[in-house]
Structure 1
Amino acid sequence: MSRLRSGANRSSLFCAAAVLLGAGAVLASMTAPVRGWLPADWPRVGADRVWLDQDMLGRWRDHGWWTPVAVAAAALGVVLFLCWAVAQIRTGRPRELPLGQPGVTLSASALSSVLADRARAVEGVARADVRLLGRPRRPRARITLVLDPDASPEAVLRGLARGPVAEARTAAAPRDLRVDVRLTTRRHRAPRIH
């Protein structure tokens, strides 16, 4: 997930949480049990408060612009929410990576398959899984390696960077291929005594 999208998601969630928390605090302060716990100098909302009465609603309806503005604001909110939802879903894998010349592409599945095969060949790697993520113009490879119990993570990372990752970056040129590596180890099985 890109930093911009991650920041936008966090900001949206923070704003929504602040609005809901504020509305909940105001509504809770209207109840008798909560009102008794609040300090005396805190602002309070009366329990008999009416947020939107018939007279106020009638005054708003007298203005000809109110109804279209309310409908447009609701429609805009729905459209923005749908755009945000589509942006969350559209984070799938790229199918092809465009290369330097027009019409020349590299299959993303072929690149990830070869990268996984080459990563398995690195000494100390028991299993490798590669997923290509991001957009075709900014690809990102997520490599998950399962190491042998006696393998050195530093040596494995060095071998991976010099071999398979360097080859993949050359193949994806002129695109800059970012690589995230996750390491796990194969567990020892405890010997059983019969």
Structure 2
Amino acid sequence: MGRRLRSPNELLRSTSVSEAGEMTANHQQLLAAMESSRRCAEIARTHEQERQAKYYNWKVRNMRTVSAGDRVWMFKPPRRPKASKFVHQWLDPMRVVEPVGYDNFLIEREDVTGEPERHIAHVSFLVMYHQPAASLEQIAVDIEAQLEHEDAVGQRADGTPPTTTAPTTAAPVQTAFAVDVLREHWREADV
């Protein structure tokens, strides 16, 4: 066959070893190809990790970031013996006072007269509350129209007749005051 059998000793201690010199062009091409392959593999690995994370976390809700001063709705299911599905389950907009640790927050009701009610709630029971300024202006216009209509009809929504001692210009003044109060309240809420 034309080949000579070499012993293992010859294979281990080859005498035809030459001294290392300059890198050959082939060696430089191999290094460039290896670097290019490494970059492609890194991009593919990143895409695959993102894809796997998407499928792994598909049931997980995005974590809400709640901080002190935010306005939130609090979920509070009814627990009374005669509570039905028609009982309110979300408490009015509340203000976050401070975090109390482990995703729990101390919140207090804003609309209660006297001593404010305070609750400790987990972030999973809170939903952010946002009131856009455009809707506030629409609410003020609706209130003004309702008051003017009630004055024209001669009876308020609560069944009482309108005041006869005040001139008819009292309703727009009251409405303007109510609009200013609403705007100031929502400016404070946005801060």
**Shorter-chain-normalised TM-score: which range?**
under 0.3
Q: Which has the larger radius of gyration?
A: 2
- Where relative contact order (Cα < 8 A, 6+ residues apart) is larger, the structure is 1
Q: Between Structure 1 and Structure 2, which shows a larger proportion of helix residues?
A: 1
Q: TM-score, structure 1 length as denominator?
A: 0.28
Q: TM-score, structure 2 length as denominator?
A: 0.28
